[in-house]
Amino acid sequence: MNGRLNLVIWLIVLGGGAALLLHLFVIEIWTIPPNDPLLEASVAPTLRGGDVLVVMRGNSVERGQLVRCKDPQAADRFVVGRAIARTSETIEIHSEVVTVDRRRMPSPRGCDRVKVFDPTHNEEVELECSVEEFAGRDFQAVRSSAFPEPPTVATVDFGKWFLVSDDRHVHLDSRDFGPIDANTCQHIALRLVGPGGFSDADSRFTFVW
């Protein structure tokens, strides 16, 4: 009996040690602030305010990944966007549709329309949804064809990424603060739970592409 108890204790200690090392050197657990309405709107429909995420430590970002970066306009805040265009590439956003070096991101199918609260106009807006394919990843993006944002054209500086919100309409991305230093960004890999906790099965342990 004592032998089994010692084994259990050692397994707990080793498991706790491994978890601590992962936290210190590999991953970070981060919750999207539920009290930042613009950030919450911008991450729709992929994420929500209150989502508990696994963020990879280090600065290795790949094209198409959803990333968390330091807000260049506020030192104590993070922004979340998709890494779309990088050094010397030209990105264009017309009618909230994205092209990189004049290549459009394919949208092979639609998805359910999404309602998002727009804090800049203090109103709820209903947005069209499509599944986009980019850099080997499929993800949902939402836009407004009726009231699109003004067009954007930019060429990305050396060592930077142009981030684009999955919400192309109510956004918090490089259209607002410019291309961002790649060294401030980390890949968001996994959502552990949503704001509803473990009882919300649809948001529990979901990969973030």
pLDDT tens-digit profile of 173-207?
999 999 999 999 999 999 999 988 887 877 888 88
Q: Hey, what are 167's tokens? A: 């919400």
Task: For residue 164, count CB atoms less than 10 angstroms from its CB and return exposed for 0-12, middle for 13-18, buried for 19 or more.
Answer: buried
pTM comes to: 0.86
Q: Which of 181, 179, 184 is nearest to 85 (CA)?
A: 179
Phi and psi angles of residue 87, each rounded to the nearest 5 degrees, phi first? -40, 125
Rounded mean pLDDT, 49-76: 92
pLDDT of 25 over the 60 cut: no
pLDDT of 48 over the 80 cut: yes
**Percent of the chain clearing pLDDT 90 (strictly above):** 75
Q: What is the rounded distance in angstroms from the CA atom of residue 48 to the CA atom of residue 34?
A: 8
Angstrom distances, CA of residue 199 to CA of 192, 195, 202: 12, 10, 9
For residues 102 and 59, the model is more confident at 102
